[in-house]
Chains A and B, each alone.
Chain A
Amino acid sequence: MSEHFIERSRYLCALGGAAATVTAIPKAIPILHSASGCAGNFAWTQNGGSGLQVGGYCGALTTPSSNIQEHEVVFGGDDRLREQVASTLKVMAGELFVVLTGCVPEIIGEDIKSVVAEFSSQGAPIIGAETGGFRGNSYWGYDLVLQALFRDFVATSTDKERLKVNLWGIAPYGDPFWRGNLEGVRHLLEQLGLEVNSFFTTKDTLDSIRQGGSAALNIVVSEVYGLGAALLAEERHGIPFLSTPLPIGPTASEIFLRSVGTKLGLSAERVDEVIAREKGDYFRLLEPLTDCWNDLDLQRYAVVVGDANYAGALTRFLADDLGWLPELTVCTDPLGEEERQRLTDGLATLASGYRANLVFETDASQVIHHLRKKWPAGNGATYQNTFAPAFVVGSSLERELAQTLGAGHLSVTFPVANRAIIDRGYTGFRGGLRLTEDLISSIVGGR
């Protein structure tokens, strides 16, 4: 892993993540206070990485942007932002406007807070977040928008509703399967009888987001993404939070449901009943695959390459549910020591007893070197126990690795350039079935 550069980064800057997040909020309009090229860069990035999803109600090249230039760098951009916000309120039809700053205004020391306050004091539904690209990557930008919502939009409430939760931890467009994944977790929680605000699904509204302050628990289905907002909401709204791995497949979903049940003090019978029903369905549906699973010898060695959510979640599913052999797991996010430790600990004990091997490597061209440490390349010997049959679950950039290994391949984590994704998701019990279908389909494609 290079200390001085990041190879083919699998995320954008904070502003890119923030803009995508606002686009995903119902009837929300992002207003970029940035150079003119930022919005276009995000559109092209989504085009190439987010499973063919670009923008939405207001995203991509539709995004209002102050497009500041050298003049503003020299003379300041406050007036330009003020003008842009005023004109945006006239031209764009939205119910929530979110001002997001890019690198240029932040480096020159612009203060957007006062401009945003001027408009909100006049009754405009507007908030802001400082999301300069150099502040972090798109997952942090996602977190910053959630923080802004909890700080300036979500109504505070002293009365908590015992069966109401907020759900996040899956970044829109950063996870190409964000809609389906959110819906999958939402479905699990609804089975428990919970009312769920998940911000970005078709079931969510600005009103349900505003009422999120009365939730009894914030559930973050990530061990990294969105934790800043969870801490802020705990402090500001007195809502405790539960951070869990992304639950893909029956084993992880069962653990997830039990931890939510425990945290909320739900009756164990209720939780058991839901798990039994979902699990029963899962295996009844899986049952007819069993002959071909055996006849076609569909078990695989696997390399998993993914972001902080997917690396562990996919590994768990492969090891604990599908019965594959994930020999190497690579997390491509640049993470701090504490975050790395958290993810490593989380994979230390798998339900199946399989021993995962997690490494942190931002530069995926180096994955092959990590694999070769344990599994040397074929040396031409008559008998050699090589890494085959193999499969690579990662992004579309892992196609070269798969080719080198003679392995199958499925794009799941950003960038996904080679699949069209609308609302497919891999979370929950049903998500495990979808992932099984997709993995196996890619193996038998030539049949």
Chain B
Amino acid sequence: MSYMDLKSPPRREERLKACIAHGGSVCDLGGKGKKSCLVDDGERGFTQGSICLLLPALAMLNTLPDNVVLMHSAIGCGTCTHSQNANVRFGGNVRWGKVKDGVWLSTALNETDVISGGEEKLEQAIIEADERYHPFSISVVSGCVPGIIGDDIDTVVKQLQPRVKAKLLPVHCEGFKTKIWATAYDAVYHSIGRTLLERSRVDGAEEGEGVDAGMVPYAGLERLPRTVNLMNVSSMGRVDELELTRLLTALGLEVNVFPVFAHPEGMVKATQAALSVSTCPTHDDYFLTYLEERFGVPYLLKHMPIGIENSGLWLRDVARQFGAEEEVAAIIRKEEAELQEALAEFRPLFTGKTVFVSAGEFRALATARLLEELGFRVVGIRSFHHDEFAQGEYDKLAATAQEDYPIDIANVQPFEEVNLLKRIKPDLFLGHANGNATAAKLGIATHVIYNTGLAYIGYRGAYDLARRLARQLKNPTYNRRLAENLTLPYTDEWYGSHPFSYINSRGGTTV
């Protein structure tokens, strides 16, 4: 039995032994030490709020053209779409020359629904959304409330599907059920697979009926021998997609970007590809395993093409699959030579400057390597979670580290960050969306590590990031003035405590 036969995907805590609470160092996690937290995840006795899997799931679903997102939860769940809508508008415009807002709805479960159940309301909402918006698909996304009161969105969807025109995609995002928000990618991919790619379900046949033997593309379609699936769960903007497309096209390959901004009707194309290439194992392992097992599409899931060396490794792996080792070597030689020459003007400014990096695990580590390549010295990293896929990246960093530095495995938790930053006093901080304010208020130069309007990936990304960092370092006055005039909301007692003193402290064991 495959995970795809389940209504919802397993939690990453179980499937990957992923964890979010560990205070270690680069030598602990990489190189020979390898004392990771994979077995025993600690809980913090003090925690700050972060996001749940709903947010990245919506970041993907909102981009799908001709899809309506229907939240089944209380009215607040999913309002993060107000900021994600900027990406929907911008992303649509750069791809199709048309600015359009996403369409997102909520069943807005109230006190009565909590007591008497919300399934009927959901049914009516689906019917009405189908009639009003005529979408190709409706993603029915459950939040915490249905998860507790026991609403069964899968049964509602199954019973209703024959009565509505839109394809219904049930997506499970009950936030309290997993602390690893990367489970979001599994949840969305799971629904795409079950709803749009499985022949039995697409054709409306009963489960198990008429299913192909597997290892071939979706029924009636041919294998496309030069097409690769370039996986993007919304961590790359169009500018980054174009950079990777440019490099893959140079190898004579056709690129199928999947799944963001892909029309649900055309998603079956992913089953025809000769290869799937991930840019981040945190995102894609669940789905790529499925695409291989079910449709015979092999995959690459190792390197993230952020950084000069990493971009080359990523590209070489792809080329090897198509016997294009020589071509790729020439491309990489040329790209690197050109890039290194262009970077020369920034090196004097960067060399020896210290940097603290914070992001999802793979992105944080790959970006840290890039910053080393640019001349910075990495002095601290916060990874939003930890799992086995990152081992190679920790090894790379442990090998190049001049001295050991802290690694904070934390689902943000800026209280640990502020404590570390006060001690380490880096020259530069790179943090995720809504995650740079703490460092900024300490007067440290900051730059966002992820923004779909900016370039980060490949050779173009390395250069553009360098340019932007040079700009930030040239005049970090905005942050300095903040630091001179604002106070962060932490006690002196906390600044004097060990930064990791609340890890494994739950239940009063070690504080």
Contacts and interface: CB of A to CB of B under 8 A. Distances in A.
A69 interface: yes
B46 A84 contact: yes
Nearest to B143: A103
Given A4-B124, A134-B110, A38 B434 contact: no
Nearest to B113: A134
A45 interface: yes
A413 to B, nearest CB: 13
A45 B83 contact: yes
B172 interface: no
B181 interface: yes
A389 interface: no
A268 interface: no
A41 B75 contact: no
Given A36-B50, A37-B181, A47-B83, A5 B70 contact: yes
A73 interface: yes
A37 B113 CA distance: 22
Interface string B138-152: 000000110011000
B489 A62 contact: yes
Nearest to B411: A36
Interface stretch (A9-17, A116-124, A232-240): A9-17
B261 interface: no
A417 B80 CA distance: 12
A170 to B, nearest CB: 19
Contacts of A39: 48-50
B82 A45 contact: yes
23 contacts: A8-B105, A15-B76, A34-B49, A36-B47, A36-B52, A37-B50, A40-B412, A41-B77, A48-B80, A49-B79, A57-B489, A62-B414, A65-B48, A83-B507, A91-B415, A92-B491, A103-B144, A104-B148, A104-B176, A107-B114, A133-B74, A133-B77, A365-B103
B84 interface: yes
Most chain A CB within 10 A, of B50, B129, B494, B505, is at: B50
B46 to A, nearest CB: 4
B490 A92 contact: yes
A205 interface: no
A168 to B, nearest CB: 22
A31 to B, nearest CB: 10
Contacts of A108: 148
B489 A2 contact: no
B108 A9 contact: yes
A11 B70 CA distance: 16
B508 interface: yes
A318 B437 CA distance: 38
Given A44-B55, A84-B46, 8 more contacts: A2-B132, A5-B106, A6-B108, A36-B50, A38-B49, A61-B412, A93-B489, A132-B74
B245 interface: no
B179 interface: yes
A342 B178 CA distance: 45
Given A35-B176, A84-B47, A91-B46, A41 B414 contact: no
Interface of B: 45-55, 70, 73-86, 100-101, 103-111, 113-114, 121, 124-125, 128-129, 132, 144-145, 148-149, 175-179, 181, 411-412, 414-415, 433-435, 437-438, 487, 489-491, 493-494, 502, 505-508, 511
Given A6-B108, A54-B437, A36 B145 contact: no
A295 interface: no
Contacts of B76: 12-16, 38, 41-42, 133, 137-138
A60 B434 contact: yes
A334 B75 CA distance: 11
A83 B43 CA distance: 12
A345 to B, nearest CB: 26
Contact of B103 (A8, A38, A40): A8
A32 B85 CA distance: 26
Contacts of B78: 41
A442 B221 CA distance: 52
Contacts of B487: 93
Contacts of B111: 134-135
Contacts of B414: 61-62
Contacts of A346: none
Interface string A145-174: 000000000000000000000000000000
B437 A55 contact: yes
Interface string A255-274: 00000000000000000000
A90 interface: yes
A91 B511 CA distance: 12
A67 interface: yes
Given A36-B175, A87-B502, A41 B79 contact: yes
Closest 4 CB pairs of A and B: A39-B49, A37-B52, A13-B76, A48-B83
Nearest to B489: A58
Nearest to B434: A43
Contacts of B121: 4
A3 interface: yes
B75 A133 contact: yes
B506 A6 contact: no
Nearest to B74: A133
Interface in A303-320: none
Nearest to B173: A37
Contacts of A88: 46
A339 B113 CA distance: 22
B212 to A, nearest CB: 36
A94 interface: yes
A219 interface: no
A103 B489 contact: no
B144 A5 contact: no
A126 to B, nearest CB: 15
A358 interface: no
Given A4-B128, A44-B55, A61 B75 contact: no
A365 to B, nearest CB: 8
Contacts of B108: 5-6, 9, 334
A306 to B, nearest CB: 16
Contact of B149 (A70, A107, A397, A415): A107
